[in-house]
Structure 1
Amino acid sequence: MGTAGASFVTCPTCQGSGEIPRELEKQLVALIPYGDQRLKPRHTKLFVFLAVLTCLVTSSLIIFFLFPRPISVQPAGLNSSTVAFDVTDINLNITNILNISNSNYYPITVTQLTIEVLHLSLVVGQVSNSLLLHIGPLASEQMFYAVANKIGDENTYKICSWMKIKVHHVLLHIQGTLTCSCLSHSEQLVFQSYEYVDCRGNASVPHLLVPHPT
């Protein structure tokens, strides 16, 4: 028999045949049989498998497209050259070509070009340019750059200025560094080439790239 003044509610687990104090109503724990279907939701393994498979495929695609691939820089020779003589020096201005290829699935930006030209192991010309050349994914671009050179070697001056000499060529060793930025990081690419340049007269016809003599 209930205590006087106490409030009771029907016990939900007693099939309506008992009562419990109202203040204990929120402390009840429901017991579900182990074989109850509510403990075995349908397609659980399938959903888990699909979720794992989706994560693996997504991760693989991200790695495939964002994995860094090489950026190639190939000197393509001279495009043109101009020659001027003063009393002791040869002023040789050359315009060169670079082929830049991007093998990545994301764009890159060329930001800096540094060139050093040597003749007989002496530096005769230098240039450093800030650039903003955008190259798209799996794309190639051709870039032109100019270098002003001053050659003061006496023997070279005679070779280039004397009319009796039939061949007027100088061998230039070009060393360069190209700076590219992509995905918030920079990469420096080093290249070099050896080129024969006619130092007698001006030439606007593109020259061929000549390998270094052995």
Structure 2
Amino acid sequence: MEKIISKLRSVAHEKYESKPLLDKDEPEEEKATPYVSINGNGYLPYVEVESHGSTVCPTCQGIGRIPKDREKELVALIPYSDQRLKPRRTKLYVSLAVVICLLLSSLAIFFLFPRSIVVVHAGLNSSVVTFAASLPSINLSTTNVLNISNRNFHEIDVTQLDVEVLHVTTVIGKTSTGDVTTVGSLGNKQIYYTVNNTIKDNNTYNICTWSKIKVHNVLLHIQGTLTCFSLGHSEQLSFDGYQYVDCRSNTTVPHSLNQLPP
């Protein structure tokens, strides 16, 4: 009896082992296919999970499958150990880019930062004196000089010059000039301007006309503003100075000018 039972068990076991795991009628495209990582290092093997309605992965070089309805959404997985995720010298390139940006910004600030523009009244260049005994009055036509020093690394445009001349506390002459000149970067320039003045004062007239008086000087006070334009903005600079004019002589010979400011 025991021999018969043992024989039956062995026959059943042989039939079970000889039975195929997959049905022969199952479509070929639904069979599971194992695959490994793309870079072929063998550290992270992949095993496909069997699913119905799958297609060849378009980004896996034919290895593995993804669902057909998500073909345009899914991409191949890149292993963490893939060298493409660890580009070389990344820190060096980032540090170099930061240093270059800081250097360029510092240079731009250094060269474009606005610096001072110095305007100095340099004195009298020449004068012409005439008298009107009927009033009495003194007519002074004076040519004065301005020294301009540009300390910027870019040129400036002098767009307007306004000057007033005072004798004691009375304004005796005015002048206004536009589009004067241009001063280059770190450059110096001189501006000549002429002011016609009229002094209507009896005491001053006597000082200038009496021959018994040896000194015939008239003190003039010069006040003015200079408008400069650079880098999209304008700036007004004020200046003033004092000068003596010999009102006895008909003309004053031009004399040497003051040196430009440092």
Could you tell me the TM-score, scaled by structure 2's length? Answer: 0.73
Match of 1:26 in 2: 72
Match of 2:252 in 1: 203
Match of 2:113 in 1: 67
Give how far 1:118 is off.
0.5
Q: Which amino acid aligns with 1:36?
A: D
Superposed CA offset, 1:134-158 (max 9, x none): 1110001111000000001111110
- Pick one of 55, 66, 89 that aligns with 1:9: 55
Q: Which moved more, 1:131-140 or 1:59-68?
A: 131-140
Change (3 A) 1:16 1:147: closer
Superposed CA offset, 1:143-180 (max 9, x none): 10000000011111100010110000010000010011
Give how far 1:102 is off.
0.5
Task: Say whether residues 1:82 and 2:131 are aligned partners.
Answer: no
Superposed CA offset, 1:71-104 (max 9, x none): 0011111000110000200001100011101000
Superposed CA offset, 1:39-88 (max 9, x none): 10011111111111111011001000000000001111100011000020
Q: Where do 5+ consecutive residues of structure 1 fail to align?
A: 210-214
Determine which structure has greater relative contact order: mean sequence separation of CA pairs < 8 Å that are 6+ residues apart, divided by chain length.
1
**Structure whose residues are more often strand by fraction:** 1
Superposed CA offset, 1:95-137 (max 9, x none): 0011101000001000110000000110011111112411110
**Distance (Å, rounded) in 2 between the aligned partners of 1:17 and 1:54:** 45
Change (3 A) 1:170 1:208: farther
**Distance (Å, rounded) in 2 between the aligned partners of 1:198 and 1:96:** 14
Give how far 1:207 is off.
6.8
Give how far 1:33 is off.
2.4
**Distance (Å, rounded) in 2 between the aligned partners of 1:104 and 1:86:** 48
Task: Find the residue that maps to 2:252 and give its secondary structure.
Answer: coil
Q: Which moved more, 1:170-179 or 1:33-42?
A: 33-42
Q: Which amino acid aligns with 2:211?
A: M
Q: Alignment length, in residue pairs?
A: 208
Over the residues paired in the alignment, what is the CA RMSD in angstroms? 2.6
Q: Which amino acid aligns with 1:72?
A: V
Match of 1:46 in 2: 92
> Contact (CA 8 Å) 1:168, 1:198: kept in 2 or not?
yes
Give how far 1:20 is off.
5.1
Give how far 1:22 is off.
3.5
Change (3 A) 1:18 1:128: closer
Match of 2:45 in 1: none
> Contact (CA 8 Å) 1:77, 1:207: kept in 2 or not?
no
Change (3 A) 1:13 1:25: same
Q: Which amino acid aligns with 2:241?
A: S
Give how far 1:11 is off.
5.3
**Distance (Å, rounded) in 2 between the aligned partners of 1:60 and 1:140:** 26
Could you tell me the TM-score, scaled by structure 1's length? Answer: 0.88
Match of 1:148 in 2: 196
Give how far 1:206 is off.
1.8
Q: Which moved more, 1:12-21 or 1:97-106?
A: 12-21
Q: Where do 5+ consecutive residues of structure 2 fail to align?
A: 1-25, 29-51
Change (3 A) 1:17 1:59: closer
**Distance (Å, rounded) in 1 between the aligned partners of 2:60 and 2:144:** 95
Match of 1:181 in 2: 229
Task: Say whether residues 1:95 and 2:115 are aligned partners.
Answer: no
> Contact (CA 8 Å) 1:80, 1:207: kept in 2 or not?
no
